[in-house]
């Protein structure tokens, strides 16, 4: 179903609106206070997952391209993103740079963890396929909740996930009011808000429409309470829905809208059942038991 991918539609839209940019990734700790991830956090690539084959376009009109979103544990400064920042090595040893690198579909101020690489990366089944992605340029990044951008040098290469793989959670962190206040599709209920980032664009399995009650009912946020016990909380709602005018352009972010969480509780994980969410290639998710990394 690659040719009909939503991402293709979404990126075609990008082409017409010339939204050239970048995207970002995640990798966060529990309850985040502004600046808490500022010091000592190394910028890390969390995922590089082949999303669509020959299904998307670049803003300057090149079409029939592949996309491969890369997620980071930090925010990436849009103006620092260049195609020369990334090298994709294919399974036959050849290397290629992306044709364009965009912060789209995740394009909100609090979503800068993903860079969507678009180019001619490979051919499924017969190959070659994208094998690894390396960040070799000079991006600028800042920790989530951090205040200052800093230069990121070369990073270790990361294995590219195959086109046929399903989407998986790559980061989760607690949104602060400072980051969240002008978010257009934010939670309208609850008092504790958790950003969940995935490896690829997200729609409901198997309709390809925006996600609904089945996804909300299955998500759980796992907190470690002050007394050391772990407790799971069900969201009242899921937000960051209807990011763009078509579900095909749905981004890789969900916000969990939770009721009050006990004082001192720290986010430790996110879970969701299998076969509820699909990526732009139509592949369903496996059950997720994502553990929030400690720092």
* Least separation in angstroms between CB 242 and Ca ion: 8
* Least separation in angstroms between CB 160 and Ca ion: 11
- Burial tier of 277 (Cβ tally within 10 Å: 0-12, 13-18, 19+): buried
Number of residues that bind Ca ion (CB under 5 A): 10
* Least separation in angstroms between CB 247 and Ca ion: 10
Which of 219, 230, 228, 224 has its CA nearest to residue 258?
Answer: 219
Stretch that binds Ca ion, among 32-40, 77-85, 101-109, 169-177 (CB under 5 A): 101-109
Pairwise CA distance, residues 76 & 98, whole Å: 17
Name which of 45 and 211 has its Cβ closer to Ca ion. Answer: 211
Name which of 57 and 67 has its Cβ closer to Ca ion. Answer: 67
Binding residue (CB under 5 A) for Ca ion from 53, 66, 171, 240:
240
Cα atoms in the 13 Å half-sphere on the side-chain side of 120: 4
Counts of helices then strands in the chain (DSSP H, E):
3, 22
Measured CA to CA in angstroms, residue 31 lies from 2, 175, 241, 254, 255 at distances of 38, 8, 23, 17, 14
* Binding-residue pattern over the window 105 to 124 for Ca ion, x denoting contact by CB under 5 A: ---x----------------
Binding residue (CB under 5 A) for Ca ion from 66, 85, 171, 283:
283
Stretch that binds Ca ion, among 86-94, 112-120, 225-233, 250-258 (CB under 5 A): 250-258
Two structure tokens written together for 242:
């209807």
DSSP state of 134: E
Residue 253 binds Ca ion, judged by CB under 5 A: yes
Binding residue (CB under 5 A) for Ca ion from 185, 189, 191, 232:
185
| Touching Ca ion, residues 18-37 (CB under 5 A) | none
8 A C-beta contact, residue 206 and residue 278: yes
- Residues interacting with Ca ion, by CB under 5 A? 108, 183, 185, 240, 243, 251, 253, 279, 281, 283
């Amino acid at each position: 179903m690659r040719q009909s991918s939503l991402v293709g539609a979404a990126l075609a839209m990008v082409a017409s609106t010339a939204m050239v940019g970048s995207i970002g990734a995640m990798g966060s700790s529990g309850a985040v206070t502004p600046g808490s991830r500022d010091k000592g956090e190394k910028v890390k690539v969390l995922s590089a997952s082949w999303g669509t084959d020959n299904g998307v376009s670049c803003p300057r009109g090149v079409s029939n391209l592949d996309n491969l979103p890369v997620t980071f544990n930090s925010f990436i400064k849009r103006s620092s993103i260049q195609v020369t920042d990334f090298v994709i090595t294919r399974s036959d040893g050849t290397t290629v740079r992306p044709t364009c690198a965009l912060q789209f579909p995740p394009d909100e101020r609090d979503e800068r963890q993903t860079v969507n690489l678009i180019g001619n990366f490979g051919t499924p089944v017969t190959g070659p396929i994208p094998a690894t992605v390396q960040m070799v340029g000079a991006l600028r990044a800042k920790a989530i909740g951090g205040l200052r951008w800093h230069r990121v040098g070369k990073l270790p290469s990361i294995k590219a996930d195959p086109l046929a793989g399903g989407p998986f959670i790559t980061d989760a962190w607690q949104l602060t009011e400072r980051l969240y206040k002008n978010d257009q599709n934010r939670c309208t209920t609850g008092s504790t808000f958790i950003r969940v980032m995935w490896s690829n664009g997200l729609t409901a399995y198997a309709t390809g429409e925006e996600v609904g009650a089945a996804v909300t009912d299955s998500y759980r946020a796992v907190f470690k309470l002050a007394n050391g016990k772990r407790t799971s909380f069900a969201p009242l709602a899921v937000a960051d829905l209807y990011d763009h005018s078509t579900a095909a352009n749905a981004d890789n972010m969900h916000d969990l809208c939770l009721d009050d969480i006990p004082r001192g509780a720290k986010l430790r994980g996110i879970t969701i059942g299998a076969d509820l969410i699909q990526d732009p290639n139509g592949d369903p998710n496996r059950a997720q038991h994502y553990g929030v990394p400690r720092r």
